[in-house]
Structure 1
Amino acid sequence: MRGTQTDVTARAQREVFASAWLGGWLDVVASEALPMNSYPVDERQTHVTSKSTPLWQSVFIWTAANALGVAVAMPLSVLIPLLKIFPALLVSAVVIGIPIGLFQWLALRRRIQVSPLWILTVFLGLGVTAFLASFFSFGEDETILALSSLYTLAGLIIGLLQWSLLFRHFRRSFWYPLSSALGLGIALWVALVTNLLNANGSFALALGILIYSVVTGVTLARLPAASPPEPAHAPDQPA
Structure 2
Amino acid sequence: MTALFTAPSFVTFTGIDDSTLLPGMLALSARYPVEWGVLLDAAQEGAPLFPLPAVRRALQGAPLRLSAHVCGAAARAIVEGGDPGLDLSGYARIQINHSRSGSSDSEIRNSQLYAARNGVRAALQCQGGFPVDARVDWLYDVSFGTGQRPEVWPAIGARQAFCGYSGGLNPDNVAAVLAHLPLDADTAYWIDMESGVRTGNRFDLAKCEAVCRIVFGSAES
What TM-score range do you get, normalising by the shorter chain? Answer: under 0.3
Larger strand proportion, structure 1 or 2? 2
Taking structure 2 as the reference length, the TM-score comes to: 0.28
Taking structure 1 as the reference length, the TM-score comes to: 0.26
